[in-house]
A and B are shown apart, each in its own frame.
Chain A
Amino acid sequence: MADFEAAKAFLQTKEDGVSLFDHLTEVLLKVITEHPENAVEHFERISAAVKSSSMLDHKPSAGAAVAAAAAGARGEAEEADVREAALKRVADALAVFRTPNEDDDVPEVGEGLQDVADASNYLEWAGVGLGRTEMFRLHLSLRELSAKQSARDMRVWGRLHGLEADYIVAEGKIDPPEDEAEDEKDALGNAVEPTGTGANTCTYWVCSHAGAEWHRLPRVTPHQIVVARRIKRFLTGKLDAPVAGHPPFPGEERSLVRAQIARISAETVVCPAGHFKRVEDEESRDVEPVPDDEYAAEDPTAPEGWVHIALPINALGRTAPNPKEDEGDEEGEEPDPELLTEPLKPITDDAPPDAEDALPWTVRPCPVAGIPSAEPAAGLVLAKSLRWPGAVAVARGRRFANLYVGYGVESGTPEGADLAPAAFQPATPGPVQSEFSMEAFNAAAAENGAKFEEQPDVIVDPDEGKPAEGEEDAEEDE
């Protein structure tokens, strides 16, 4: 018995206020209360956890020190800011659920508003979606935006991932604002297409999450599209961020977002053939939905059955040649007919001319396991762009939906038998400016009868008139 007492006394010896006996009691208590699996394996950790949490332990554990250092890096004021921002974000998301009072003067919701919840059900079949709950909130938020901006044909365009924040993009059509300059030109001298036509047919709004404020993006200029084709950048998520890269991009990130949206829309917004027809006016390139009684279903399960809705963008960055300067200007050379792009082109035209099997689309019926109904049109068909990963379209009967989800960069055109996308080639810097040449300068000046000569270099000897230093030193030394 004396041995037991002695052993117990030893265990109860306190060093730094803790005895091994107390510690083991705590550890065993933790094991018994928490019932961890394989307690032997985790014994050391449980022991360590008890030590670090023990009030009796004066020495801070290494982990606690790291956490304290990290917390120190973010001061309390900053902590409060973060909390406030988080709270605002949740409050914003909640605000979309408010129902307007009857007395309020609520503007009418614009016509053609997409049934977002319905579309998201279909898009889920294609493996994309922003989440059912987020889509529902977006639906409410979009309805409000459409009413506020009196925009038609409002829809969720997609989500662009940015490094620091994402953009959720909404598309709609509005009348040109009154303060819009009519014949604006970009730095390359190409006319910016007015709101409602060409690459600016639709107007886009972005926000970071459903409920946040929508920001309208400016019109896209041809120059921006041309440069956007030649640079490849991740978006940062801040609309006013500068855009780096070469050639220099004319504008802030909001313009780059807009230019990429224009490019993605032109290349990937598709629908099964037969949904739209051109309006009867010969001059116009607008399209209109085919009325239900004229609609004849075409087989959308093959790539041939799909067409682009938006107008393709030409080499100038427009959908048409530049407008003629003056009405009387007949001398101007006839614009290249290829510059006038046509709507409703089949997607099979997207294949590179030298590799027809490298069609940048994959079109499949789904569910793959077979359509429960005998009617083929009852099934869904999806089209995925391989050139812009994340751009998909789904169609079922007369309904279809498009969505883009991704970083807003293309995968490059597949090259060679391996179908590996071509590596991005950054634009090379401009050629080095040639050195000034007197002959060339004189040759140009001779037309005006002038002749220039290079002055002989004026060399002033700084030591002139002074005694040479060496001599002076020599004298002193002597």
Chain B
Amino acid sequence: MDLRHLDDLAVSGFTLSVEERAGLESGMRKRQLEEGLASIRFWGRITAAEADYLVAYGFPPSAEYPKKQFYFCTTKSFELQAFPDLTDEFSGKCDKLTGTLRGDPGLVVGGDDEEEEEEEEPEEEEEGEEGAPRRPKKVKFIEAHRLAHRVLAMDSDLSIVPRGAFVITPTHYLAPNPSFAGLSATEAASAASYLHFRRPVAEERRSVLDREGALRDVDFLDPVSEDEPSGVWSIRVDEGEGTALVRSLRWPGYFFVHRLGTQSFGGAYFGNGLPNRDLAFML
């Protein structure tokens, strides 16, 4: 979501403080200029015990498919950093850690990791002496990895766009649709009008996408109406305000607002970064 449109999310009950907003404004602009990003947006805030994480994402200039570049900072410093790379090993570790975050990105996760590392180091040096290619220094498993893993998982579930807002060009590039006129109130009330902004999971859409030649405009992304269990998205059209509010109940804290009949839409996450594992009992 564009920071300037954050007020549209007031209905969620969450907002950014003036400090967070001011810090992010500068931090995001800096990243955008440094990396030549086509655009940069606010993704959400994850509450942690010591400080909160603020996450933003940008689109590199020549991105093909929804390829997002993520950045994060804590509320202690607004210098945005890129997410660290996640290896399979780290992803596996992250999957097992289901608790809340501390709020210190450099925190080494798992108390005894540090000792293990010291023991391993001499071995590495020996290998180096033997002439074998010296392995890069072992990367510590830190909280930033957990944050990255969690945000990427959430983004794949949560990132949605109204149907028609993005189109695929005949050369198979994803592009914002300049003639998108917004959803009508009737359209906005239907879960089929919101599409997952990610590489489609459904096989038939994938194959459509990989096919040569021109494509139909809109049917290349998964609609949220196919998500299981049904009712995992709560959609509410408020014609009094002229908005449609879409909320994820799997990730309580994700709010998406679309101003009916305009090109304005966007969502953000405000929460503790934990999925609602009790959803089955709550609907």
Contacts and interface: CB of A to CB of B under 8 A. Distances in A.
A125 B240 contact: no
B17 A409 contact: no
A234 B240 contact: no
A95 interface: no
Given A37-B178, A131-B11, A125 B19 contact: yes
Contact of B97 (A90, A362, A418): A418
A368 B51 contact: yes
A134 B13 CA distance: 10
Contacts of A419: 99-100
A327 to B, nearest CB: 45
A329 to B, nearest CB: 42
A386 B49 contact: yes
Interface string B259-283: 0000000000011101001100111
Given A386-B47, A405-B13, A405-B14, A42 B178 contact: yes
Contact of B239 (A85, A165, A245): A85
A116 B173 CA distance: 49
B16 A127 contact: yes
A44 B170 contact: yes
Given A234-B249, A364-B51, A405-B14, A165 B236 contact: yes
Contacts of B236: 164-165
Interface in A124-167: 124-134, 158-159, 161, 163-166
Given A368-B51, A386-B100, A130 B274 contact: no
Given A85-B239, A126-B17, A161-B247, A70 B187 contact: yes
Contacts of A247: none
A197 B73 CA distance: 46
A67 B190 CA distance: 12
B278 to A, nearest CB: 4
* Of A85, A165, A424, most B-chain CB atoms within 10 Å: A424
B177 A130 contact: no
Given A41-B169, A67-B187, A418-B99, A82 B13 contact: no
Contacts, number: 160
Contacts of A165: 236
Interface in B5-32: 7, 10-20, 23
A52 to B, nearest CB: 11
Contacts of B241: 89
B162 interface: no
A369 interface: yes
Contact of A127 (B23, B49, B177, B270): B270
Q: Interface size bucket, B side?
A: 35 or more
A339 interface: no
B59 to A, nearest CB: 15
Contacts of B11: 130-131, 134, 166
Contacts of B170: 41, 44
Contacts of B282: 232-234, 409
Interface in A231-264: 231-234, 245
Contact of A159 (B13, B175, B249): B13
B185 interface: yes
Contacts of A421: 99-100, 274
B271 A369 contact: no
B278 A390 contact: no
* Of B13, B187, B234, most A-chain CB atoms within 10 Å: B13
Given A42-B178, A423-B277, A70 B50 contact: no
Contact of A369 (B19, B49, B51): B19
B278 A232 contact: yes
Interface string B33-49: 00000000000010111
A245 B186 contact: no
A41 B253 contact: no
A124 B13 contact: no
Given A128-B13, A129-B13, A161-B247, A67 B184 contact: yes
A93 interface: yes
Interface string B183-227: 011110010000000000000000000000010010000000000
A41 B19 contact: no
B165 interface: no
Contacts of A161: 13, 247
Contact of A41 (B18, B171, B277): B171
Nearest to A39: B178
B252 interface: yes
Contacts of B48: 362
22 contacts: A41-B171, A42-B175, A42-B178, A46-B179, A48-B217, A90-B240, A125-B18, A126-B17, A127-B16, A129-B14, A129-B15, A166-B11, A231-B281, A233-B282, A234-B249, A362-B48, A369-B19, A409-B252, A409-B282, A419-B100, A423-B277, A424-B281
Interface of B: 7, 10-20, 23, 45, 47-52, 75-76, 97-100, 167, 169-171, 173, 175, 177-179, 184-187, 190, 214, 217, 234, 236, 238-241, 247, 249, 252-253, 270-272, 274, 277-278, 281-283
Given A128-B13, A159-B13, A369-B23, 15 more contacts: A46-B179, A48-B217, A70-B187, A73-B186, A85-B239, A93-B240, A124-B18, A128-B14, A129-B13, A130-B10, A132-B7, A234-B283, A367-B17, A409-B282, A411-B274
Interface of A: 36-37, 41-42, 44-46, 48-49, 67, 70-71, 73-74, 82-83, 85-90, 93, 124-134, 158-159, 161, 163-166, 209, 231-234, 245, 362, 364, 366-369, 384, 386, 389-390, 405-407, 409, 411, 414, 416, 418-421, 423-424, 426
